[in-house]
Structures are given as C-alpha cells and as structure tokens.
Structure 1
C-alpha cells in the first residue's frame, strides 16, 4: 500500500471510527488480500470474528436477562452474519481501500458482500491487536448502535433451521443440499448450491460461500411453500 493510500485510510479510520493506529503494519496487513501477499488480512479476520462475537454476546447478555441461550445464540449469529456486516453503511468505503490483484468486485455482488464483511472483521482484529478489548468493545457497540436497539423478540430462526424443522414436523425427509464448486481463481471461489425437499424440483443459487448458498436456497423454498420465517 503506497503512502498516500495509507494516509487516506488512516484519516478515514480516525474520522469514522475515532481511532488512530499506533502500528501501521497492522492496518496495512488488515487491508491486504491474499491474492498479492502471504501477509494478508485472514488472521486479523479470524481474530476479529472472535472479538466481535464476544462483544456482541456480552452486550446481548446484559440487554436481555430473560432471554434463553437459544434466543441469544441465534441473535448473536444474526448480528455477526456476513449479510449484516456487509449491510453496515461504511462497508463499501472500506472495500475501496483493499489491496488486491484481479478481483472484479464490481461484477460479483456476492464476492463483494463477503469481502466487505471480511474487512470489517479484519479491521476489528487489527484494532484489537493495536490496542485492547475495552477500546474495540466500545467501538463495536457504537458501530452496532442502531442494530442493538431494544426489541421485544430476539433470536428469530434462520431459513435453513426453519426448513429443517418444517420437514421434521411433517414427517418428511430432511432437506438435501448439494454443492458444486465452479471454475475460478482460488482467492475468489464460486459455488452453485442446490436443495431438494421431499423429491420436489431442485432449487439452486450461485454464491461465494456454501453457508450463504444454503441459507439462500432454504429461504427460496420457504417462500415457495409460503412458510413464514
């Protein structure tokens, strides 16, 4: 990353996240894709995912003292999912700072969503390494402010879980998911995920992660079956 781009990134992080990095190398690696370097964001993303999960779990535990373990677990998963992370208002701006090679981000919406979510987790991991949990915990709560508004009901089940429970309650075979890896570079995999329920017509979708694809096809099937989530 050249000095001009790094300075612009640091200014953006300071302005929107109220944080100034002590060690530039953490920030640089957090915005470096594996397509150009072995020192990339993946370890920071791994760490950031764990830090984010702990922070959100702690906040929900405090906010909902009467919620069950299952409700808390599902709500945590919803809040830290790729879809939620990619939907945060600043994600597109962060993606513009990513150092990469031959990633056609404009043409692959699912890849863009996945990378946007990865970068948020990577940034969280890098700030944690550069500072401490208390600092990043406060920042996460600020980032999630609108999503953490008090609600009457939390922990709604995801489409895949609802579909499985539907088949079980109706004595039907469990949904069968199949995955086909499509051709493409290792750093931007593409999959076709399909699902069949009770020998019905196969439903398929294209995606950048298998988990995303399974949730998407389950959601399509639920809508066809007119089952409310």
Structure 2
C-alpha cells in the first residue's frame, strides 16, 4: 500500500487492506469513470444506522422526535465536513483538474460525501461491527457533548414541524432545474405550502442545500425565520 494511504489509515483509525477500494472511496465524480457515489449512498445509510443506535442507547428516555433531531445534527453535511477537516481529508481526494483549479475540492459537500463513501468502503471490507467501532471513534467527542436540550433545527425541520403542529399540508419540494457540468451543478428547487399563493424557489450546489434554502425563504415569508419550536 502506498504511503498516502498508510498516512490516511492512521488518521482514520482504520487501515484499508484493499487499496483499490480505498482509492475508489476517495475518487470524486469530476475525475471521470468510476467514482465514490455508490459508496456514498451506502455509507449514508450505515452512518444513520450507527448514529441512531448510539443515540438510542445513550438517551434511553428520549422521545423519537428528540432522537431524530440529534441524529440530524450529527449526520448533516456540515458535521461530516468537520470530521473530514479533522482528518485533513482534502489532501487525499482524487479529483478532476477543473475542480482542483477552481478550489472546489474544499467545498463542504465534497468533503462530507467522501466521509460517507469511506464509511461505505469500510463496511464492504470489514462489516458492520468494525465500521461501528471506527465511526464511534470519529464521533466520540461529539456524542459526549450532546445533551437533550433541543439542537438548532434546520429550516426544513422547522417548517415541517410548524405545518404538522397546525395540521396543514406538509411542504412539497420540486426540482425546477439542474444546470452546469456534473461537478459544478446548480439545483433550483421550489417549496410550496398552502399558506402561500405560489411556491418560493432557491438555488444550491446540491438538492439538499437548495431545499434548505427554499424552506428558509418560506419561513421568512411566513414570519417564522427566527422562531424555534414553531
């Protein structure tokens, strides 16, 4: 195994036996050919399972809604990107030249997606229990710092909870357009609720980010942007 992967293994607390699998987990779609998107899909689900299980055990008296918000706080892109920066993961990414030149390799979403892909790769190579062991090392301090006080809810969560509380139709999100090359796509997403005559739209560099931005616009239009637990 080459020296960079040995170095990465020390940071991850996990040494890959399969060098090709490790490299695939680090390969962004901008590189062309095989990339880490399938591993990212797998890792996203496994991370959710591991964190859900950890929270279930850590907070035996917490209700479902509280556990869901805590999980969201831990698996969101911002947190994953923070984990990636702790590993200085950016230096190991395998990227297309256009992304490197533009500085996009530092983008939060690319870092977050790569962490999920690494989780997927560890799972394929070593199974669930080893993956759980590794992920819980990564999240040890974050889990220790959690309390049952409400974390800050993201815009989509706040809007959905407001609609549920007032027995209104849940928000509907629709992708209006996706433009740009594969590695630089811009999503335009609309969010509609019955209180507003027409949907509001917003843009983001992923569907998730665009939905959050659209939900934030709706909250602002409804005068709820600064309210928690609405």
Tell me the TM-score range normalised by the shorter chain.
0.7 to 0.9
- What secondary structure sits across from 1:87 in the alignment? helix
Shifted more, 76-85 versus 193-202: the winner is 193-202
TM superposition score normalised by structure 2: 0.78
Instruction: Work out whether 1:58 is the aligned partner of 2:53.
Output: yes
Distance 1:137 1:106, change over 3 A: farther
Aligned residues between the structures:
224
- What secondary structure sits across from 1:215 in the alignment? helix
Whole-angstrom CA distance in 2 between matches of 1:28 and 1:89: 16
**C-alpha contact 1:52 1:80 (8 A) present in aligned 2:** yes
State the Cα distance separating 1:151 from its structure 2 match.
0.6
**C-alpha contact 1:110 1:208 (8 A) present in aligned 2:** no
RMSD: 3.3
Instruction: Work out whether 1:71 is the aligned partner of 2:61.
Output: no
- What secondary structure sits across from 1:38 in the alignment? coil
- What secondary structure sits across from 1:52 in the alignment? helix
- What secondary structure sits across from 1:130 in the alignment? helix
TM superposition score normalised by structure 1: 0.79
Instruction: Work out whether 1:186 is the aligned partner of 2:182.
Output: yes
Whole-angstrom CA distance in 2 between matches of 1:200 and 1:122: 41
Gaps in structure 1 of 5+ consecutive residues? none
State the Cα distance separating 1:99 from its structure 2 match.
1.6
**C-alpha contact 1:103 1:188 (8 A) present in aligned 2:** no
- What secondary structure sits across from 2:182 in the alignment? coil
Distance 1:201 1:60, change over 3 A: same
State the Cα distance separating 1:118 from its structure 2 match.
0.8
Q: Deviations over 1:90-136 (max 9, x none)?
A: 26821332222244367576992211111001111212222232322
- 1:95 aligns with one of 90, 93, 96: 90
Gaps in structure 2 of 5+ consecutive residues? none
Distance 1:160 1:87, change over 3 A: same
State the Cα distance separating 1:33 from its structure 2 match.
2.3
Shifted more, 60-69 versus 145-154: the winner is 145-154
**C-alpha contact 1:44 1:126 (8 A) present in aligned 2:** yes
- 2:107 aligns with one of 96, 106, 112: 112
